[in-house]
Amino acid sequence: MFNGFISIDKPPSITAHDCVSRLRKLLKQKKIGHGGTLDPMATGVLPIAVGNATRLLRFLPEGKAYDAKIRFGLVTNTDDITGEVISDRPCPKLTLSEIQKLLPLFQGKITQRPPAFSAIQVNGKRLYDLARRGEISESDIPMRSVEITEIRILNWTEGEYPELDVAIACGSGTYIRSIARDLGEKLGYGATLSSLRRTYSNGFNLDKSLTFEQIAEFLKSSNLEVLAPDHGLHFLPVVSLNEDETKRWCMGQAIAIPDNFSNLGAENIYLRMCDQSQNFLGVSEVVEAGMQPIVVLHPIN
């Protein structure tokens, strides 16, 4: 039985739910969940919680990073290359300098319209279901506020349909497809996302991600090691409990906040709890009574 996190390097053409199903079969475990969706076309980091670590998914930090390729001159109904082409306008004279002038408009806190083919719900129905049936228009799609902390140019390829490679760091809920679409609209040629690879997600990096083939090989040799349950939680302040406090906390009792934690701000409402040997115990919420256990991984009966 595995307990911890596995960062999957998601292959193309499958969903996050497909990844969970495939991992359940490989590990022969049912208790598995993922930390955020990733479009079927996209590849890269998909955090997966296994066993008791599924209880920690909601505490993972915000933030994602992508390497994206944007193709200009094409517009599709899905805002990526997998969709139906609805506008085809070659633009061989488009220059990188024209694009560079517009990129600052897409950084910081911005408002964007999600793609029509997305999992957002409107009146209890998924947008992609409404879009497939032709029951949604642009005006029906709710705008959302997102934060983009960086857009860095990686490469520029000229041609009939020039392509821009960019690295994007952003907050959760950001649609890279929308950035591609909106950038193309502002240039007057249209654009669509031609590839997307997530390099970071919620505390997990690509360098620690495994393909399904690698996982299968590790399982054959009994060498699969999952990441620790608190792998993505190191941004949380850590509190070490003595033996008596550990017993009481694991039994569900709130423990007084140590004096050196008396100035906790509103952003530190959760704490990572460890025993004297720095073994991870679970997560506390800061309440008036002290450090109240809300996830105890090793309860004492």
CB 290 within 8 A of CB 239: no
Q: How far apart are CA 246 and CA 255, in angstroms?
A: 9
Helices 212-220 and 16-27, interaxial angle, to 10°?
A: 10
* Beta-bridge partners for 286: 291
Determine the residue type at 106.
F
Q: How far apart are CA 173 and CA 119, in angstroms?
A: 11
What Cα–Cα distance (Å) separates residue 86 from each residue in 69, 129, 175, 189, 195?
A: 19, 19, 20, 12, 18
Q: Which two tokens stand for residue 52?
A: 């008791």
Q: Which two tokens stand for residue 205?
A: 């990096």
**Residue from 9, 18, 39, 182 carrying the catalytic annotation:** 39
CB 282 within 8 A of CB 273: yes
- For β-strands 125-126 and 121-122, DSSP reports them as antiparallel
CA-CA-CA-CA dihedral for 18, 20, 24, 29, to nearest 10: -160
Q: How far apart are CA 266 and CA 264, in angstroms?
A: 7
Please name the helix (run of DSSP H) or strand (run of DSSP E) that holds residue 178, with its range, or none. helix 176-187
* Beta-bridge partners for 169: 65, 150
Q: Which two tokens stand for residue 76?
A: 């599709």
* Beta-bridge partners for 201: 64, 204
Q: How far apart are CA 171 and CA 159, in angstroms?
A: 32
Known catalytic residue at 80: no
Task: Say which DSSP state 124 is in.
Answer: T
Q: Which residues are catalytic?
A: 39
